[in-house]
Amino acid sequence: MNALIVAALLLVLLGVAYQSGWSRSRNLVTASGVNVHSRPQYHGSYVAIWAMLPALVVLGLWAWFGGGITHNYTVGQIPQNVLLSLDQTQLNNTIARINALASGYGVAGEVQPFEQSAGDALRSFQMLTFLGVLLAAAVAGGAALLYARSRVTARLRARNAVERVVNLVLLACSAVAILTTVGIVASLVTEAFRFFTFIHPVDFFFGTVWNPNNAGTAGNWGSYGLLPLLVGTLMITAIAMLVAVPVGLMAAIYLSQYAPRQLRAVAKPMIEILAGIPTIVFGFFALVTVGPFLRDLGNLLGLDINATSALTAGVVMGIMIIPFVSSLSDDILNQVPRTLRDGAYGLGATKSETIRNVLLPAALPGIVGAFLLAVSRAIGETMIVVLAAGNAPVLRGNPFEPVATITVSIVNQLTGDTDFAGPQSLVGFALGLTLFVITLCLNVVALYIVRRFREQYE
């Protein structure tokens, strides 16, 4: 509720400031008839930015320091004799009970008189401080609004100032994305190195047995061989690509080159519906439908196919990935210049020859990008392989048998109470770093392919 009130205040302040600056600019043109450097919308944005900055600073300061101030006030409401008798755990529980009472929630057990009075006092304190912060933000924003409005003149370079602010905002957004990636990589590398202080890298990367001892002690950590998980991941990914790439690419070619407009308008959204289905639904579909079907089909053909196997997980994952390949490839094929196709037809090429010799080579870089996205999605998928792959971390090359993947093992090792002090939990970071390196290698290979086969069309 408080967040909605703050958002409403900021929106009102933003709207009033923009309208004030815009009307001020219009009045300058009407009253004097002189040419202004910037358009009214830039003057409105200029005043709005000036009004928002101090208001956001006030709210940011309270968000930073308000928790500590409220905590100190809550502790101050506890009688001194009671406060001295509490250890840290009991003090935290008492503060939590007082906060619950202040918020109007019930608490377990009997409520002490000092807890009730402290809860009432804290409720009043929170209300007063919230109103005070809102008033301070409104006053600061209003004062900045008046100051910025007074600066609006015919020669004010509001457009330059607004564009500088926009550039800073875009730079900040880019920095957030970059720093987030750097932070993720740094955390993976740091924790992975901690894992390698327990398990030798050679035993991890080239080990053929995966059997972590989650209850183990020093010197009895178990086996952490990566190869069974890596083989299982690559096997399921390969099966998924064998399903998704031909079906998705052929569907894209048909929709972009052969399908009537009415059919395309219906078929393309229906294919993309698959992308909106939760992966847990695909996993359940694999477990109760596809797996038994493949098992029965194998019995008819004399093959021993498990209901939960790499084949089951790969086929269902391929079905899930079809819309990614189809939709992206269709968009890329439609972006090929029409003049290239018309030129091929003018030279006597058939439609199929035009597709093979002109359309696909021209769209190859984009299609490679679509395939890369599909491979990355397959490697990082979790729920389907949890339910359909069997979770058997055994090194085998038979796709009809259960396997385990890297993502499933990460889930298994990080589920439950983990203190990140032993290899049982730290191995999740080593596995995550392995997935990151695999994805990075895929990007490098795709970039090479794109640069190798890219053609420039005028």
CB contact at 8 A, 262 and 339: no
Task: Give the whole-angstrom CA distance, residue 237 versus residue 224.
Answer: 22
Task: Give the whole-angstrom CA distance, residue 235 versus residue 397.
Answer: 8
**Residue 198 CB contacts under 8 Å (≥ 6 apart), including other chains:** 221, 422, 423, 426
CB contact at 8 A, 453 and 365: yes
Asked whether the predicted pLDDT for residue 275 surpasses 50, the reply is yes
CB contact at 8 A, 192 and 429: yes
pLDDT at 216: 59
pLDDT tens per residue across span 281-292: 998 899 889 989
**Sign of the torsion formed by the C-alpha atoms of 198, 202, 205 and 206:** negative
Q: Per-residue pLDDT averaged across 208-217, rounded?
A: 74
Cβ-in-10-Å burial (0-12, 13-18, 19+) of 449 comes to: middle
pLDDT above 90: percentage of residues in the chain: 8
pLDDT at 363: 83
Kindly report the three-state secondary structure assignment for every residue of 370-421.
Answer: HHHHHHHHHHHCCHHHHHHCECCCCCCCCCCCCECCHHHHHHHHHCCCCCCC
pLDDT band at 458 (very low <50, low <70, confident <90, very high): very low
Written as one letter, the residue type at 114 is F
How high is the mean pLDDT of the chain?
Answer: 83
Q: How many residues comprise the chain?
A: 458
Task: Give the whole-angstrom CA distance, residue 118 versus residue 124.
Answer: 10
Asked whether the predicted pLDDT for residue 82 surpasses 90, the reply is no
422 phi-psi bin (left φ>0, alpha ψ -120 to 50, beta other): beta
Asked whether the predicted pLDDT for residue 324 surpasses 80, the reply is yes
Question: Residue 170 corresponds to which tokens in the numbers above?
Answer: 């875009």
Lowest-confidence region among 172-176, 235-239, 447-451, 453-457: 453-457
pLDDT at 239: 93
Q: What is the dihedral of CA 239, 243, 245, 247, to 10 degrees?
A: 170
Which of residues 356 and 2 earns the better pLDDT score?
Answer: 356
pLDDT band at 53 (very low <50, low <70, confident <90, very high): confident
CB contact at 8 A, 244 and 322: yes
3-state secondary structure (DSSP) of residue 153: coil
CB contact at 8 A, 188 and 181: no
pLDDT band at 238 (very low <50, low <70, confident <90, very high): very high
Asked whether the predicted pLDDT for residue 429 surpasses 70, the reply is yes
Question: Residue 403 corresponds to which tokens in the numbers above?
Answer: 């396997």
Lowest-confidence region among 217-221, 414-418, 452-456: 452-456
Asked whether the predicted pLDDT for residue 319 surpasses 60, the reply is yes
Asked whether the predicted pLDDT for residue 147 surpasses 90, the reply is no
CB contact at 8 A, 248 and 319: no
Which of residues 251 and 94 earns the better pLDDT score?
Answer: 251
Whole-Å CA distances, 326 to 49, 232, 315, 332, 410: 44, 26, 16, 10, 30
pLDDT above 70: percentage of residues in the chain: 93
Element counts in the chain: helices (H) and strands (E): 18, 2
Q: Which of 109-113, 145-149, 247-251, 413-417 has the highest mean pLDDT?
A: 247-251
CB contact at 8 A, 309 and 231: no
Q: Per-residue pLDDT averaged across 100-104, rounded?
A: 78
pLDDT band at 348 (very low <50, low <70, confident <90, very high): confident
Q: Each residue of 300-337: b (16+ CB within 10 Å) or e? A: eeeeebbbbbbbbbbbbbbbbbbbbbbbbbbebbeebe
Q: Per-residue pLDDT averaged across 108-124, rounded?
A: 80
pLDDT tens per residue across span 263-274: 888 888 888 787
Task: Give the whole-angstrom CA distance, residue 182 versus residue 253.
Answer: 39
